[in-house]
Amino acid sequence: DAGITQSPRHKVTETGTPVTLRCHQTENHRYMYWYRQDPGHGLRLIHYSYGVKDTDKGEVSDGYSVSRSKTEDFLLTLESATSSQTSVYFCAISEGGANGYTFGSGTRLTVV
């Protein structure tokens, strides 16, 4: 997706290990979001950021932390991965106001 990239695209990790996913944007949008997508559930918000160093929790934030030290980068960290965190993770950006969201291509994370 133009202007927003996620890395890695795929990752397999072991239970108990830390994992960091990266979202990078070139649109200079103020807002950035992390969602997870699981079968039978709509996408659910994990954390979001409304500016550099300004973040807040979403509805499924337990076990996750985030950081935003630059406008363009938003990191999602699983401090100690669990099997329940196996999912597809999407980053999104928005200018705010009445504007819509733009999503990245996703990271498929498997915790074994």
What are the residues binding another protein (CB under 8 A)?
1, 31, 33, 40-45, 48, 50, 56, 58-59, 90, 92, 98-106, 108
Is the CB of 12 or the CB of 80 nearer to another protein? Answer: 12
Query: What minimum distance in Å lies between the beta carbon of 4 and another protein?
Result: 9
Query: What minimum distance in Å lies between the beta carbon of 81 and another protein?
Result: 22
Q: Give, in order, the Cα–Cα distances in Å from 27 to each of 20, 24, 51, 68, 103.
A: 22, 9, 14, 15, 12
Across the chain, which distance is largest between two alpha carbons, in Å? 41
